[in-house]
Structure 1
Amino acid sequence: MSQQTQTNPIDFQTEGLQPEFLISLYKNLLKPRMIEEKMLILLRQGKISKWFSGIGQEAIAVGVTMALQKEEYILPMHRNLGVFTSREIPLHRLFAQWQGKASGFTKGRDRSFHFGTQEFKIVGMISHLGPQLGVADGIALASKLKDKKHVTAVFTGEGGTSEGDFHEALNVASVWQLPVLFCVENNGYGLSTPTNEQYRCDHIADRGLGYGMESHIIDGNNILEVYNTISRIAESIRDNPHPVLVEFKTFRRRGHEEASGTKYVPEDLMKAWEQKDPVDNFERFLVEKAILNDEKISEIKAAITHEINENLATAFDENDIDSSETDQLNDVFKTFEYQEINSKEELREIRFIDAISESLKQSMERHEDLVLMGQDIAEYGGAFKITEQFVEWFGKDRVRNTPICESAIVEAGMGLSIAGIKSIIEMQFGDFVSSGFNPIVNYLAKSYYRWQQEADVVIRMPCGAGVGAGPFHSQTNEAWFTKTPGLKVVYPAFPYDAKGLLNTAINDPNPVLFFEHKALYRSIRQEVPQDYYTLPFGKASIISSGTDVSIITYGAGVHWALEVLDQHPEISADLIDLRTLQPLDKESIFNSVKKTSKAIILNEDSLFGSVSSDISAMIMEHCFEYLDAPVKRVGSLETPIPFAKALEDRYLAKNRFESALLEILNY
């Protein structure tokens, strides 16, 4: 065991560590520093566009990575270059990634460290920081369900701990006792904002107590303290799954990114941390202990320099990326080979809500590791009793009550997908999805396009008005998601469609928002096969055929249109139930409009920015010469949804549809 020397401000404890291993630690610590120094030169030369420096913090990334097993996932930040190099990612691929070349990890679609790689069990960050914490929960949940005895390590900075996702993720990990190592690099500043303007507790580690979680404070500049402590913690997590919060005290010696500079840092503070440089001090220590000498250090540095230059040359020599429009569009979704499964059993009449429940039950039987997550879905059976008895049938591991934290649960679904497990998340009401909006539109929707990682998640969305539930339990917010490439949106109107389409949604490896209109749950009945079957996405249902007008709608709008047509048997109409909004059956729409020459689009949502607006625009672009009247849109009032029945009736598009239909017919 060494003793702290006067010349070294860091106390390195080497007990139990062999010289060969200490040298490997040194090499892994030195490599990211030397790469960074090279990148800063290239930045000044204009050969790379941006750089987020981790100089001064290398010991954390390297120590944590070397303490973990190679099959254990790490979710790093953009300053954790040492994670990538310690996992031995070929440098030319890293350099190509930073230059937007094809041999990188995102086909030029994202920059720096915003990527993941299953090969090296690394899941890179997104700029919103917080979501990766919940994703780590999902990966750790998969490890626990499969009894892998793995640790999942996730990084964030002290600034990121102010985000709600941090608190949600810690709470979920604690409640579910997940094997997650939460690594907080406290470098004193969130960009330029000091910690005294970020939080009021003495240490971020203090927050662990509030979540019933073990926590530690580690000198983040001491590579041996990081490695030894994390090794012990990781082993305890593997033996007994539980989350641990670790705060690493360190300092970022460069700006947030190079253009930011460091003028906001007091000079004496910068000098104090320069004296605690993790690379220089460890090198000095190894020399003092005669483990290294100048000749050996020069040899190591020469080898790393050669490796950097050789791999840089490979990356620079690679041609700039070229990609067709077709290639780009084809990579928005993972290819899904739809398998049509037809019913072989008798029909019997059931309600819409029963069709949803049957689909879930039969899918849980078909996919043995499928996980359901949502508020009150276990013993209580969910707000609408759709999952009643599911705990008895499938157990609490697979039917999981969640805390009230939509964001973290969506992220956990993403983590499960990364680990190879499908999940279904129930939003208790579709309105509440706004609390989980960020990970849906920025993580689930973009992951496959960015680094070919599918988000095998279905989000069930009980939605819609007509039940007197007011502004926060009545929205139909499908247009929030049809706007976002990378999401599929399904919105059935009948029990038969609901069951078959939900089965397909669960089979599809892409993220699906599945809208279920609450007013239809117990009011609509239909004959439905008892056994398992599927229906294709992107294929509308032509409910009636006619020549006078094309009525295009979905969800409750289908039933509103049927009521009006029943009252007007003289109207000969194509009634098109879209069933899925993304993908959209444009062919059926266009063929119908070309036949009838008139089109009216009905949706429950308010008009501006609605699905009907896009469909109207498409009809104008593709069918203009066939039209005998302007395309008519019918939607609800441009107000939030009121509670009182008289106000709700006046709000809904239902009561304006009949007059609008007659108006276009008489045009």
Structure 2
Amino acid sequence: MHFDSKDLTHEQLVHLYKSLLLPRLIEEKMLVLLRQGKISKWFSGIGQEAIAVGVTQALLEDEWILPLHRNLGVFTSRHMPLHKLLMQWQGNQSGYSKGRERSFHFGNAQHHICGMISHLGPQLGIADGIALAHKLKKENKVVAVFTGEGGTSEGDFHEAVNVAAVWDLPVIFVIENNGYALSTPVTEQYRCEALVEKARGYGIDGVKIDGNNILGVYDTIKGVRKYCIEYQRPYLVECATFRMRGHEEASGTKYVPPYLFEVWEMKDPIKNFEQFLLSKHALSKETIEAIHQDLKEYIDVECSIGFNAKPMVVDSVQELADVYAEKKVDVGGQKYEVGSKKYEESSVQGSSIYFSHPPVQQSGSVSHIRFIDAIKEGLHQSMEQHDDLVLMGQDIAEYGGVFKITEGFVEAFGKERVRNTPLCESAILGASLGLSLQGYRSMIEMQFADFVTMGFTQIVNNLAKIHYRWGQSANVVIRMPCGAGVGAGPFHSQTNEAWFVHTPGLKVVYPSTPADAKGLLIAAINDPNPVLFFEHKALYRSVSGDVPAEYYETEIGKARHVRAGDDLSIITYGQGVIWAEDYAAAHPEVSIDILDLRTLLPLDYEAIQAAVERTGRVLVLHEDTLTGGIGGEIAAWIGEHCFQLLDAPVLRCASLDTPVPFNTELEASFLAKSRLGETVVKLLRY
């Protein structure tokens, strides 16, 4: 192994050696603790420490790194206290994730580290968002994100690298090629000679290096960092290495030919660098022994602290409270508004702290506009209100989106903030989380709600869980044009809110009026949590109403009492509100009470109970299919909490349990509207 120290001083070389040795000694200690049952699981990086350490040492301390579970050197090089890491590995309440995550599945904004999720690939898109934030702020910084050779087979790798290339983002994609994805060898993973060849396919540069050579990794990343900043381009670095232990300790290494261990033992990153430093007289054997002793003493002291942590205290109230970010905080004893100049000038500018924006006192100026125009107005005013709001989606820039909601936005706000995206829902949703890490808020338009499946993991596993996992806000709004009734068939007509109301950490809103469409969209953009904003396509140009001209919020989580009645209550939302109103107007002989939920997560249970109290008979109406729809949850809650108020069983009226058909006659039969009348009659007969 050839080392080139270039202009590094002996002091710098020794610093790299200590940084390389520390994670190795910690790992050796952890393997002992694992056998003793003091930690439950360990993913060993023994043999490939030079990559994590070299990359981290080559970056500035305030440049984000997105590591994997074999990158202990990232965490130690960022000076994260070992005792707190140990608490994390034990699942202790004093760890970085309060016992909610294991090993390295956590992040920490203070140390500019974003933790992985088990799906591996989705973190690549997050790096794009962080880099985009640097670009928007005109900051000369890069982002480094790790993946394994196995991870390059995932679609998220393709999407993230392609977005970084198309958007000219300063991202360093680091591939740790250690030969095996768990037990799958590279011969069963890809057919190219080297993974770095993939760089050319995306129109970017890349290099393959010896991942066991600490000076080679350090020097390469230093140079790549300079390149990415100077040219505002991404770069791919493939690091050839090997892991000397199993994927994790329980899996063993029987699938690896024994001779490989002999080959790579000779390439040990620490032993070889140690010999080089001895030859350079940067270290002596005595100094090496002293360094080993000092680091082992440090590890023992930190372990004694870590194992003396307070025992877990289970508090379900606190667990529930930590699922969502709070909207109001004090800074210096003062409350600031989102987007205000005082907020921008405050000491927390650019952090993940968000503030409340109270509803505006309406002056009385009102316009009678369509549902679609109300959405556009709310989005436009939000762009004016927040310089840190970025819009992303397919065809949303010059074209204005397939429904023309963002038409004219490029001229008003520029292409940096109104961004056409490649066809890659997962990477863009990941990028939205990356923007949040840097204090930005974003709106992503799904061209159709049906297409959200392509980014499902990002929503339910990254965006939804991140605040619970490590206290990071995700200020992201996902607009979901949805619904049938327009003859668009099974892939452009779903109303799939039920997929998401089951996921803690998300908020789901679904307006039925222009006034609520505007107010709820503004509220969603001001909310520090990920919000799915469902907007029914059939309402876009068919429903009009009075909408206040000013900037205002409609509170998320509060239902709207649409119409008072005595005979029965219809609890519904979205297009269902229109169906219920039309039926009530056509049947004046029935006194129908209508409740528009507006928000599906969280539900307004107080308003639901009040609707039950008013009539004693409840029909839950929604366009979504029956089985697993939110109507079942509402009916169950009423049965559990309001049984004594009922005069009849709660009935549900929903669409057929089939995909949405294309033929308009089949579609009409599919929709819940076709069964509303008979369900009302059935309920009244009890």
Q: Distance in 1 between matches of 2:72 and 2:361?
A: 51
User: Which residue number in structure 2 is paired with residue 42 of structure 1?
Assistant: 33
Summarize the alignment of residues 9-28 of structure 1 with structure 2, pairs less than 5 Å apart: 10-28=1-19
Summarize the alignment of residues 88-487 of structure 1 with structure 2, pairs less than 5 Å apart: 88-337=79-328, 339-487=358-506
The alignment partner of 1:602 has SS state of strand
Can you give the 5+ residue segments of structure 2 that lack an aligned partner in the other structure? 329-355
Q: Deviations over 1:383-414 (max 9, x none)?
A: 00000000000000000000010000000000
Letter in 2 for 1:430: A
Shift of 1:345: 4.7
Q: Which sits farther off after the overlay, 227-236 or 454-463?
A: 227-236
Instruction: Say if 2:512 and 2:598, in contact at 8 Å, map to a contact too.
Output: yes
Q: Distance in 1 between matches of 2:525 and 2:147?
A: 32
Letter in 1 for 2:57: M
Q: Distance in 2 between matches of 1:161 and 1:320?
A: 40
Letter in 2 for 1:306: E
User: Which residue number in structure 2 is paired with residue 609 of structure 1?
Assistant: 628
Q: Report the TM-score when normalising by structure 2.
A: 0.95
Q: Distance in 1 between matches of 2:312 and 2:228?
A: 43
The answer to whether the aligner puts 1:492 opposite 2:500 as a matched pair is no
Q: Deviations over 1:309-339 (max 9, x none)?
A: 1011001011222131110000000012452
Shift of 1:101: 1.7
User: Which residue number in structure 2 is paired with residue 550 of structure 1?
Assistant: 569
User: Which residue number in structure 1 is paired with residue 588 of structure 2?
Assistant: 569
Instruction: Say if 1:503 and 1:533, in contact at 8 Å, map to a contact too.
Output: yes
Letter in 1 for 2:474: A
The alignment partner of 1:317 has SS state of coil
Letter in 1 for 2:685: N
Q: Distance in 1 between matches of 2:578 and 2:74?
A: 56
The answer to whether the aligner puts 1:511 opposite 2:511 as a matched pair is no
Instruction: Say if 2:127 and 2:144, in contact at 8 Å, map to a contact too.
Output: yes
Instruction: Say if 1:342 and 1:534, in contact at 8 Å, map to a contact too.
Output: no
Q: Distance in 1 between matches of 2:676 and 2:468?
A: 40
Q: Distance in 2 between matches of 1:200 and 1:420?
A: 41
Letter in 1 for 2:201: G
Q: Distance in 1 between matches of 2:231 and 2:388?
A: 22
Q: Distance in 1 between matches of 2:418 and 2:635?
A: 41
Letter in 1 for 2:596: D
Q: Distance in 1 between matches of 2:282 and 2:645?
A: 84
Shift of 1:284: 1.2
Q: Distance in 2 between matches of 1:102 and 1:24?
A: 33
Shift of 1:355: 0.3
The answer to whether the aligner puts 1:52 opposite 2:43 as a matched pair is yes
Instruction: Say if 1:492 and 1:555, in contact at 8 Å, map to a contact too.
Output: yes
User: Which residue number in structure 2 is paired with residue 534 of structure 1?
Assistant: 553
The alignment partner of 2:465 has SS state of helix
Q: Distance in 2 between matches of 1:58 and 1:607?
A: 53
Q: Distance in 2 between matches of 1:345 and 1:144?
A: 41
Instruction: Say if 2:88 and 2:95, in contact at 8 Å, map to a contact too.
Output: yes
Summarize the alignment of residues 80-91 of structure 1 with structure 2, pairs less than 5 Å apart: 80-91=71-82
Q: Distance in 2 between matches of 1:263 and 1:470?
A: 51
Shift of 1:196: 0.8
User: Which residue number in structure 2 is paired with residue 4 of structure 1?
Assistant: none
Q: Which sits farther off after the overlay, 586-595 or 452-461?
A: 586-595
The answer to whether the aligner puts 1:648 opposite 2:667 as a matched pair is yes
Letter in 2 for 1:375: Q
Shift of 1:343: 2.3
Shift of 1:594: 2.2
Q: Distance in 1 between matches of 2:6 and 2:554?
A: 63
Q: Distance in 1 between matches of 2:592 and 2:323?
A: 36
Letter in 1 for 2:461: N
Q: Distance in 2 between matches of 1:361 and 1:18?
A: 55
Letter in 2 for 1:186: N
Shift of 1:626: 1.7
Shift of 1:573: 2.0
The answer to whether the aligner puts 1:631 opposite 2:650 as a matched pair is yes
The answer to whether the aligner puts 1:657 opposite 2:676 as a matched pair is yes
User: Which residue number in structure 1 is paired with residue 331 of structure 2?
Assistant: none
User: Which residue number in structure 1 is paired with residue 609 of structure 2?
Assistant: 590
Instruction: Say if 1:345 and 1:531, in contact at 8 Å, map to a contact too.
Output: no
The answer to whether the aligner puts 1:559 opposite 2:550 as a matched pair is no
Q: Distance in 2 between matches of 1:397 and 1:493?
A: 32
Can you give the 5+ residue segments of structure 1 that lack an aligned partner in the other structure? 1-9
User: Which residue number in structure 2 is paired with residue 6 of structure 1?
Assistant: none
Letter in 1 for 2:635: S
Q: Distance in 1 between matches of 2:228 and 2:476?
A: 27
Q: Which sits farther off after the overlay, 238-247 or 359-368?
A: 238-247
Q: Distance in 2 between matches of 1:323 and 1:507?
A: 32
What do you get for the CA RMSD once the two structures are aligned? 0.8
Shift of 1:561: 0.6
Letter in 2 for 1:161: T
Shift of 1:595: 2.7
Of all paired residues, the percent bearing the same amino acid is 61
Letter in 1 for 2:131: A
User: Which residue number in structure 1 is paired with residue 336 of structure 2?
Assistant: none
Q: Specify which of 63, 70, 77 is matched with residue 79 of structure 1.
A: 70
Q: How many residue pairs get matched? A: 658
Instruction: Say if 2:360 and 2:550, in contact at 8 Å, map to a contact too.
Output: no
Instruction: Say if 2:125 and 2:430, in contact at 8 Å, map to a contact too.
Output: yes
Q: Distance in 2 between matches of 1:587 and 1:452?
A: 29
The alignment partner of 1:276 has SS state of coil
- Runs of 4+ with >6 A deviation: none
Q: Distance in 2 between matches of 1:664 and 1:123?
A: 53
User: Which residue number in structure 1 is paired with residue 347 of structure 2?
Assistant: none
Instruction: Say if 2:94 and 2:310, in contact at 8 Å, map to a contact too.
Output: no
The alignment partner of 1:628 has SS state of coil
Q: Which sits farther off after the overlay, 91-100 or 171-180?
A: 91-100
Shift of 1:90: 1.0
Q: Distance in 2 between matches of 1:341 and 1:92?
A: 48
Q: Deviations over 1:596-615 (max 9, x none)?
A: 11110000011100000000
Q: Deviations over 1:573-608 (max 9, x none)?
A: 220000000111111111221231111000001110
Letter in 1 for 2:292: K
